[in-house]
A = this chain, B = another copy of it.
Amino acid sequence: MTLFTGLSAFPLTPTDDDGELKPELLQRFLERIVAAGADSIGLLGSTGGYAYLTPEVRKRTLRAAVECIAGRTPLIVGVGALTTDVAEDLARDAREAGADGLLLAPMSYQPLTDEEVFRHFEAVAAAGELPLCIYNNPGTTKFTFGPDLIARLAELPNVTAVKMPLPADGDYAGEMQRLRAMTPEDFAIGYSGDWGAKDALLAGGACWYSVVAGLLPEPARALTRAALAGNAADAERIDHAFAPLWALFREFGSFRVMFAITDILGFEPITPPRPILTLDQACHTRVEDALRPLLQVVV
């Protein structure tokens, strides 16, 4: 398996009230992911709240993760930033710290042109000198990659994968067929959006970039294995157990729900970075109810 394939688990980045990393808690999250046999770790992705952290905290987070993982699981790290300068610096730092790959989303304030995004990726991929996955996440970045831009980026050195959002029409197979025809043979097309993961993998997606696997890696790995083996019945069964949680991810955003899950799993309390709010007690109870079927999944 190459780097951007299988189950990539995205942990939260736990911080205290001053925005400083809580390294022991991060390492507890990482140990669960390694133990469950995830294929990679997606550190400092959207779930890892990279957009809310200073470059200094991001660098410390990466070092704490490298120390804990110690090569047991490949480590991908998000290096997106509003400026190319900062993203280049983070990409260089990621290589120096020992990351295996990069994840780059085109964060934006002024809406970006295709040419600006291309040049940004070109610069950051060159600075990082590591395999890089295009983080296509219009829900947070407000930038949508068309197939032509993905194909152009896939020609760049180091750019070896894309993390796609779920297609609006649900036609995973058609979308992948179009993208495969435009990209090199070893270019890996994976998906995020946990509620579509089963369908994406069954349709031939290379990777599930998974929010939930950051805290519940075992059932996520079981779903991934079943789907990648073409075992649709098992994949459907496990996905069905996840369904109540998927509904809450869609209703409240997976980022907010993940913080509630840490609490329910008995980890020490952490809160999302303001302005993001902690879910209220009624929502919290609904997350608790949604987790129940997952405890019964045979993994």
Q: Identify the A interface with B (CB < 8 A).
A: 19, 46, 51-52, 82-85, 106-107, 109-113, 115-117, 119-120, 123, 139-140, 142, 253, 255-256, 273-277
Contact = CB atoms under 8 A, between A and B. Distances in A.
A274 B119 contact: yes
Given A52-B82, A84-B273, 15 more contacts: A46-B109, A46-B110, A51-B109, A83-B274, A85-B273, A107-B109, A109-B140, A110-B140, A111-B140, A111-B253, A116-B275, A116-B276, A119-B274, A119-B277, A142-B142
Contacts of A273: 83-85
Contacts of A256: 110
Contacts of A113: 277
24 contacts: A19-B83, A19-B85, A46-B109, A51-B82, A51-B109, A51-B110, A52-B109, A83-B275, A84-B273, A84-B274, A107-B109, A110-B140, A110-B253, A110-B255, A110-B256, A110-B276, A111-B140, A111-B253, A113-B277, A115-B277, A116-B277, A117-B275, A119-B275, A142-B142
